[in-house]
């Protein structure tokens, strides 16, 4: 299916190990081993039991998170080493990412992992050890509906050299089924008008009278930390988004 894809540049195939003492300190903060072993954001086994027959998406040929159609494709949770596999470069095909350092990446990874509410899921081209797609499920915990949990679909992107090969559907269906498996009562997303057909093909609907997105945008620095553990300390990232 995907054989015709051109090879990524040599630089994308390089894997850089994390070895500085500062990064080891971060690993300790994450509760992980001080070694080259990587941490997963969540349990990868959760992806193996997803039933793709539950999705209305039409896959031709049929693929799933467990069997993505090519031996060199892998769907898995974000890992602590993915900074070096082009994860941020992939996100930059979606929106402005800014100059995020390894330390910032690992701090954010640690916060997400500790919360247990972030399911950043990626597709890897294992031939080049390169991230080629990503989507995020965020759990929003509520008091309403008997303390129910709502899923939010965020930051969906497929590398532009791999588009049109079902990988967008694959990553969105993966996190959508994950939301159902985790007990969400619904999953919501915001997207541009031109992507409505894409999401409709996966089962998302525009609900009459309830299909508006409204935003308020704040001037100046946007990413101040409101983490209670760091309240009062210097913001970790003051880059505008
Ligand atoms: C909630 C959010 O994050 S919204 C932000 C979405 N992300 C972006 O806009 C970033 C840039 N775009 C991308 O990364 C990709 O184009 C994606 C993720 C939208 C789609 O990825 P792809 O791998 O190309 O999608 P895939 O091959 O699975 O296509 C599935 C179907 O959607 C259609 N489709 C894909 N992209 C688009 C598009 N931009 N507009 C309309 N239809 C589309 C395809 O034609 C295909 O239809 P088919 O099933 O009838 O053949």
Residue 28 within any structural domain of the chain: no
Check which CATH number belongs to the domain holding 177 and give it: 3.40.630.30
Contact criterion met (CB below 8 Å) for 33 and 27: yes
pLDDT in the model for residue 12? 35
Give the pLDDT confidence score for residue 159 in this predicted structure. Answer: 98
Q: Which atom of ligand 1 approaches the CA of 159 most closely? A: 14
The residue whose C-alpha atom lies closest to atom 28 belonging to ligand 1 is: 166
Looking at the domain assignment, is residue 229 inside a domain? no
Ligand 1 geometric centre to CA of 157 (Å) = 8
Q: What is the pLDDT of residue 238?
A: 36
Q: Is residue 36 part of a domain?
A: no
The per-residue pLDDT for 201 is 96
Within a 10 A sphere around the Cβ of 25, how many other Cβ atoms? 13
Which tokens belong to 70? Answer: 């090519």
Calculate how far, in angstroms, residue 99's C-alpha sits from the geometric centre of ligand 1.
Answer: 26
**CA 153 to centroid of ligand 1, rounded, Å:** 14
Q: Is residue 193 part of a domain?
A: yes
Q: Other C-beta atoms within 10 Å of 70: how many? A: 16
* Range(s) of the domain holding residue 178: 44-201
| pLDDT digit string (tens) for the chain, length 241 residues | 444 444 433 333 333 333 445 555 544 444 444 446 899 999 999 999 999 999 999 999 999 999 999 999 999 999 999 999 999 999 999 999 999 999 999 999 999 999 999 999 999 999 999 999 999 999 999 999 999 999 999 999 999 999 999 999 999 999 999 999 999 999 999 999 999 999 999 999 999 999 999 999 998 765 555 555 544 444 444 333 3
Q: Which two tokens stand for residue 186?
A: 């619904």
Write down the ipTM of this complex.
0.94
Please report whether residue 3 resides in a domain: no
Determine if ligand 1 sits within 6 Å of the CB of residue 195: yes
Q: Which of 154, 156, 191 to mutate to test the pocket of ligand 1 (most atoms within 8 A of CB)?
A: 156
Atom from ligand 1 closest to the CA of residue 169 = 28
Report the distance separating Cα 196 and Cα 59, nearest Å. Answer: 18
At 24 the pLDDT is 52
Within-domain flag for 179 = yes
CA dist list (Å): 237 to 88, 151, 160, 215: 15, 26, 28, 21
CA of 193 to the centre of ligand 1 (A): 12
| 146 C-alpha to ligand 1 centroid (Å) | 35
Distance in Å, CA 166 to ligand 1 centroid:
8
Q: Which atom of ligand 1 is nearest to 135's Cα?
A: 3
Q: Tell me, yes or no, whether 129 lies in a domain.
A: yes
Supply the Cα-derived Rg of the chain in whole angstroms: 18
**Which ligand 1 atom sits closest to the C-alpha of 158?**
14
Number of domains observed in the structure of the chain: 1
| Domain assignment of residue 27, yes or no | no
């Amino acid at each position: 299916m995907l054989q015709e894809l051109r090879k990524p540049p040599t630089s994308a195939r390089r894997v850089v190990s994390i070895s500085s003492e500062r990064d080891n300190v971060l690993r300790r903060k994450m509760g992980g081993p001080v070694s080259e072993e990587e941490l997963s954001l969540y349990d990868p086994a959760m992806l193996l039991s997803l039933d793709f027959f539950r999705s209305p998406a039409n896959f031709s040929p049929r693929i799933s998170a467990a069997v993505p159609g090519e031996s060199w494709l892998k769907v898995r949770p974000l890992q602590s080493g993915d900074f070096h596999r082009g994860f941020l470069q992939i996100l930059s095909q979606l929106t402005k990412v800014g100059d995020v350092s390894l330390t910032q990446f690992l701090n954010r990874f640690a916060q997400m992992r500790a919360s247990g509410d972030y399911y950043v899921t990626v597709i890897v081209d294992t031939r080049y050890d390169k991230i080629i797609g990503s989507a995020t499920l965020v759990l929003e915990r509520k008091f309403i509906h008997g303390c129910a949990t709502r899923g939010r679909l965020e930051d969906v992107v497929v590398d532009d050299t791999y588009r049109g090969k079902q990988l967008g559907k694959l990553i969105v269906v993966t996190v959508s089924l994950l939301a159902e498996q985790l007990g969400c009562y619904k999953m919501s997303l915001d997207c541009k008008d031109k992507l409505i057909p894409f999401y409709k093909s996966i089962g998302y609907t525009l609900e009459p009278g309830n299909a508006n997105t409204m935003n308020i945008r704040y001037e100046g620095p946007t990413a101040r930390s409101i983490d209670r553990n760091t309240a009062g300390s210097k913001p970790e990232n003051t880059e505008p988004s």
